Amino acid sequence: MSYTLPEFLAHALALEHEAAERYLELADMMEAHRNDEVATVFRDMNRFSRMHHDEIRARVGAVALPQLKSWQYRWRTPPEVGGEEAFDYMLEPYHALRYARENEVRAMEYYRSVAEESQDAEVKRLAAEFSGEESEHVAALDKWIAQTPRPAASWAADPDSATPAA
Q: Which residues bind a copy of itself (CB under 8 A)?
A: 1, 3, 11, 15, 21-22, 25, 29, 69-78, 81-87, 90, 99, 106-107, 109-110, 113-114
Q: How far is CA 152 from CA 55, 156, 157, in A?
A: 41, 11, 13
Please say which residue, 88 or 147, places its beta carbon nearer to a copy of itself: 88
95: nearest Cα among 44, 40, 157, 47: 157
Please say which residue, 79 or 151, places its beta carbon nearer to a copy of itself: 79
Beta-carbon contacts of 97 under 8 Å, excluding residues fewer than 6 positions away, are 38, 41, 141, 144, 145, 148
Please say which residue, 27 or 41, places its beta carbon nearer to a copy of itself: 27
CB of 57 to a copy of itself, least distance (A): 19
Please say which residue, 76 or 125, places its beta carbon nearer to a copy of itself: 76
CB of 34 to a copy of itself, least distance (A): 17
